[in-house]
Amino acid sequence: MADITASLVKELRERTGAGMMECKKALTENNGDLDASAEWLRKAGIIKVGKKADRVTAEGRIAVAQNGGKAVLVEINSETDFVAKDANFVGFTETVAQTALASGAADVEALKATKLASGETIEETRAAVISKIGENIQIRRMVSIDSANNVAAYVHGGRIGVLIELKGGDADLARGLAMHVAAMNPPHIKASDVPAEFVAKEKEIELAKMSDKDKSKPADILEKIIGGKIAKIVNEVTLYGQPYVLNGDQTVEQVVKAAGADVVTMRRLAVGEGIEKQVDDFAAEVMKQAGLA
């Protein structure tokens, strides 16, 4: 049996948002396996899809540049939020985004090698900014769209950026959809985009959560019950299935179809997504230095 440490319980809590005792029990039942424990919690009905407490701690900024149907988002990370708001850092991020747009660089490595009007490359300029502000800076990711369709680029608070390509409709609808994606973060556009493996796993989980009484119902009735639950889950993880943030009385699909449009592409970046940054426990550090811990 694996040793169920406090750090394991803490990590499972951060991943799932479940309570401490539920997490400890899940880890005990699954021999300390985090993935299996998270699934166990879902099967027990304690957590549901899309409700993870995804702790994003890295700092930085999403910079955007657009010219008609050509648009780009670049994530540039810093060590602290203080530097992320510094004028030198912000200026650098704007330069990087504009250069990415103008150069058509295919990826971050190509972007770093691109020369500015000064003759310096982006990478050389990055080194100069690091020297000036005294903090590490990384150009982490970039996404772009180049299309004859309606393209919207939206950045919320410098921390979440979205690109939307919309066939048909108009610029206002494209921007509204970009705002929706920024707020709701749907992983997929349509139900047909949802992987079959995901649907199969959700069916397994929903069946595990059902009572013996429900499971004993006729196969066709049971299939309808499970089908309804899966349809709801699929709606939650698709852009088209979600209620539109600018008009909660309609789904995104209803709004888009009413405009005779179709979403072709969506891209979303959030600062620090997937990065775990060390969090210092200053209270514990002070106590240790004072000999109280």
Q: CA-to-CA distance for 237 and 190, rounded, in angstroms? A: 9
Taking only the tens place, the pLDDT of each residue in 142-187 is 999 999 999 999 999 999 999 999 999 999 999 999 999 999 999 9
Q: Class assignment of domain 1-55?
A: mainly alpha
How many CB atoms sit inside 10 A of residue 51's CB?
A: 12
Residue type, 11: E
pLDDT tens column, 258-283: 999 999 999 999 998 877 655 445 45
Kindly state the helix (H) or strand (E) to which residue 235 belongs, with its residue range: helix 219-236
The predicted structure's pLDDT at residue 52: 37
Single-letter amino acid, residue 212: D
- Report pLDDT for 291: 54
Please list the ranges in the chain whose pLDDT falls under 50: 49-57, 279-280, 282, 286
Structure tokens at 188: 């997929």
pLDDT of residue 60: 94
Domain extent listing, the chain: 1-55, 59-187+264-270
What pLDDT does residue 56 have?
36
Per-residue confidence (pLDDT) for residue 164, from 0 to 100: 98
Residue type, 205: I
CATH 3.90.76.10, domain 59-187+264-270, yes or no: no
